[in-house]
Chains A and B, each alone.
Chain A
Amino acid sequence: MTRRLCALVGAAALILTLAPSGALAQGDIPRAFDGNPDLNGVWQVIGTAHWDLQDHPAGPGLPDMGAIGAIPPGQGVVVGNTIPYRPEALEQKQGNFENRFTDDPEIKCFMPGVPRATYLPYPFRIIQGDKKIMFIYGFSDANRTVHMDKENPEPAPIDSYMGRSHGSWDGESLVVDVAGFNGESWFDRAGNFASNTLHVVERYTPINANALMYEATIEDPAVFTEPWTIRMPLYRRLEANAQVLEFKCVEYSEDLLYGHLRREPTRPAPEDR
């Protein structure tokens, strides 16, 4: 009971901070068997963070895609709106954007990494048990296991796209410490990126029964001069049949990746582009 009281106070405080315009708690926050918030369910971000983490105006896409491919305008999710790049890293970010139609890991159907997997425009499921919490994302078969039962931080056995995640509860927040990245991932379609020294600390905090606040603090001394934070809500998918459907995108990326190697080439070789 005490725990629940705390939870409500915590949620109310959050709402005051984040949504001062009068949002109200929609009933109790669901509880897991152990009294911690129950995050089980299908969640999704609404917004344009997958286009660009920062404030951005509307912009053109590939001409052949018409309005479908255009970049919609959006308000940023970076706290303070500034990403503290080192000068040479900022140049690389700009280069990434120039080359996004061939280099963006998303266009190649690569696993998106963390935190990008969270705010891609697809739902994801959280399966919260006693020893592990699993995130199953709706893009490129990506998933990750949050170890709740291992000493933190246990070194990653090998660098990977999705990193190695260790979780713990901090009051009402699930805190996930993620490292062991391979440095191949971007953060968005604007070319924001990190290296293999990336370290992400995520916080998932219930706002009410159907929304979580997601916060990720991003640290990478090779790319940024200081840590920075993104913050956005996650919304529960309320459809009775909500389900993360399989989206194996490999075959839709193959022409882009291998079209120049077809018997009848569909695009020039990378060196001729």
Chain B
Amino acid sequence: MIDIVGILMANIIYVIAITLGGALISWSVHFVPVGGAPAAMAQATGIGTGTVQLAAGAGLTGLVTAGAMMQVTDNMGLILASGAVGAMIMMSVTMIVGAWVYTYGVGCPPASAKVKYDPITKDRQDLYVSQGTEGHGLPTVSFVSGVIGGALGGIGGALIYYSLMSIENGLPLVDLVGMASVFAVGIFFVNAVIPSYNIGGTIEGFHDPKFKRFPKAVLASLIATFFCSIIAVLSIGGL
């Protein structure tokens, strides 16, 4: 049997880092403007897909870039930054092309129904909301919020991956990458689902009243990820 306490104490810093990474992912999902199914019919502001899937798409893209960066450097800041940049690029490219479709394909301007004025550009919103809808497209505030969400999610995923890769262990590199990537993906999905239950599947961005609910999801993620991180550290550290 493995020395549970010894491994945990030796790697306590990584347990904490993984837990923080999970909480960051959970927080990041609240920034991502997703309108769910209604947004696909230009019936709600935000991107027309599900929270979990979009967060996962962005975060996992960040994981790919962070994994590539980790091959060539052990500078933690750089690895986290490259994770953030990968996720931000995926998120902003998705949103700009989404804006093309809403504007040129559907013919409606971006508008939010949750606020009267865009907090960033101070533009009037309610006049541009077409009849019978809850807004459509991505006004600047939602776009910026999405970029922030992508960055936080990318940092969170990269932080988890970096911590898992740094645990002391006797594994050859190829096995370690396998273990770390599997745990990172697993922990990512758990922390992408928890906040989407918290916001009921749709949110416009940080200006949305639902954003204020984030402490609950972050708390839930902290508890759940803490447990997962102990398990992960024990599995990798025990080998």
Does B bind A?
A: no
